[in-house]
């Protein structure tokens, strides 16, 4: 499932095409994705202007002139693709419709934004813009890891005394929003913390060190266009490239990349998810 860097990459690519543009036609080709789509969605989107495109955790939020916000979650296989952009960022012509093009938005600039989702684990909703923080998918999310609310003191407080593993705590979206398995593994490696260690057995100093490690991993991934594993593509159809820079994720049996470490990357299963780490330098 796309994590924060992948969704932020899509947001940054869509913003120049969508922000300030009017949706002249909306085509909704099925009544549901993971959950039912909003009633009258095509009518509610047609003729409105996109005022701003935001991201919250792994969700895209398009604030509209109608006073509503379109919430989009990519799910396991969802892709947002742009074609026909007259300014040249997405120079390819509109492709022939595909079977899994579930929502298609034609903009007044001539650009087309298509949501394609073969497995239909994605989601869309229309909600009052002033009530986005209270939406059931967003209400319990923790701080954004790239925002000012995510701090060393805050993370220390959030993990203090917890008997769960630090890996599980960082995957909990109430602790910090937007992190998934890939980037938690990579951040723990950079911070030198074992995914097996319980939160109450990690010092405050080492927990504090997770904050810059998390931010650095996310920034590096965004700069690389995200990680393309299985279905993810950027809005222009290109792959992301951060997977070529993984230190531990997917590298079971490979030598540790930390300078001076002679360890080997190992894989364990925690809560039905694979954790990759170096047992020698992650303590």
Position 258 in a domain: yes
Position 206 in a domain: yes
pLDDT tens digits, one per residue of 250-264: 999 999 999 999 999
> Could you tell me the pLDDT band of residue 227, with boundaries at 50, 70 and 90?
low
Q: What are phi and psi of 223, to 5 degrees?
A: -60, -30
The single residue of 3, 6, 8, 68 carrying the catalytic annotation is 3
Position 212 in a domain: yes
- pLDDT (mean) for 140-152: 97
Top pLDDT among 280 and 75 is at 280
> Could you tell me the pLDDT band of residue 236, with boundaries at 50, 70 and 90?
low
- pLDDT (mean) for 131-155: 97
207 and 261 in a single domain? The answer is yes
27 and 98 in a single domain? The answer is yes
pLDDT tens digits, one per residue of 201-220: 999 999 999 999 999 999 99
Domain boundary among 134, 166, 192: 134
State yes or no: is 112 an active-site residue: no
9 and 126 in a single domain? The answer is yes
125 and 187 in a single domain? The answer is no
Position 147 in a domain: no
- pLDDT (mean) for 265-272: 94
121 and 27 in a single domain? The answer is yes
13 and 127 in a single domain? The answer is yes
Top pLDDT among 1 and 269 is at 269
| Total count of domains within the chain | 2
The single residue of 55, 58, 233, 251 carrying the catalytic annotation is 58
Domain boundary among 108, 134, 160: 134
180 and 249 in a single domain? The answer is yes
> Could you tell me the pLDDT band of residue 232, with boundaries at 50, 70 and 90?
very low
Cα 146 to chain center, whole Å? Answer: 12
Q: Is the pLDDT of residue 86 over 90?
A: no
User: Which DSSP string corresponds to the chain?
Assistant: ---HHHHHHHHHHHHHHHTT-BEEEEEE-SSBSSSBPPTTHHHHHTT-BEEEEEEETTEEEEEETTSEEEEEE-TTT-EEEEE--TTSSS-SPPPPP-TTEEEEEEETTS-EEEEE-SS---EEEEEEGGGGGGSTTTTT----TTSTT--HHHHHHHHTT--SBHHHHHHSTTTSSS--HHHHHHHHHHHT--TTSBGGGS-HHHHHHHHHHHHHHHHHHHHTT---STT---TTSPPP-GGGG-SSTT-TTSBP-STT---B-EEEEETTEEEEE-TTT--
| Separation of alpha carbons 162 and 165, rounded Å | 8
215 and 94 in a single domain? The answer is no
Position 89 in a domain: yes
pLDDT tens digits, one per residue of 93-131: 677 778 899 999 999 989 999 999 999 999 999 999 999
State yes or no: is 259 an active-site residue: no
Domain interval for residue 261: 152-277
CATH code of 46's domain: 3.20.190.10
Q: Is the pLDDT of residue 2 over 90?
A: no
Q: Is the pLDDT of residue 40 over 90?
A: yes
The single residue of 2, 5, 143, 145 carrying the catalytic annotation is 2
The single residue of 267, 273, 279, 280 carrying the catalytic annotation is 273
CATH code of 179's domain: 1.10.8.50
User: Which DSSP string corresponds to 187-205?
Assistant: HHHHHT--TTSBGGGS-HH
130 and 9 in a single domain? The answer is yes
State yes or no: is 58 an active-site residue: yes
227 and 123 in a single domain? The answer is no
Position 282 in a domain: no
pLDDT at 240: 45
State yes or no: is 167 an active-site residue: no
117 and 194 in a single domain? The answer is no
166 and 208 in a single domain? The answer is yes
Position 143 in a domain: no
């Amino acid at each position: 499932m796309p994590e924060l860097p992948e969704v932020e990459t899509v947001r940054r690519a869509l913003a120049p095409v969508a922000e300030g543009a009017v949706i002249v036609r909306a085509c909704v080709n099925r009544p549901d994705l993971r959950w039912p789509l909003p009633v009258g969605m095509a009518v509610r989107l047609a003729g409105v202007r996109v005022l701003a495109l935001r991201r919250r955790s792994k969700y895209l939020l398009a604030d509209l002139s109608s006073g509503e916000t379109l919430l989009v979650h990519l799910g396991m296989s969802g892709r947002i693709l742009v074609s026909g952009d007259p300014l040249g960022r997405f120079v390819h012509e509109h492709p022939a419709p595909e079977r899994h093009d579930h929502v298609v938005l034609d903009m007044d600039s001539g650009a087309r934004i298509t949501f394609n989702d073969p497995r239909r684990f994605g989601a869309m909703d229309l909600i009052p813009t002033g009530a986005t923080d209270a939406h059931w998918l967003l209400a319990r999310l923790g701080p954004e890891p790239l925002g000012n609310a995510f701090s060393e003191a805050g993370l220390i407080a959030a993990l203090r005394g917890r008997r769960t593993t630090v890996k599980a705590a960082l995957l909990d979206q109430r602790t910090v929003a937007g992190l998934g398995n890939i980037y938690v593994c990579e951040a723990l490696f950079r911070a030198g913390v074992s995914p097996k260690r319980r939160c109450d057995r990690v010092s405050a100093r080492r927990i504090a060190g997770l904050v810059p490690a998390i931010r650095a991993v996310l920034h590096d991934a965004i700069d690389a266009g995200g990680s393309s594993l299985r279905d993810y593509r950027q809005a222009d159809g290109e792959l992301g490239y951060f997977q070529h820079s993984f230190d531990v994720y997917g590298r079971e049996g490979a030598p540790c990349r930390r300078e001076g470490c002679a360890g080997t990357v190992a894989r364990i299963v925690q809560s039905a998810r694979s954790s990759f780490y170096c047992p020698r330098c992650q303590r």
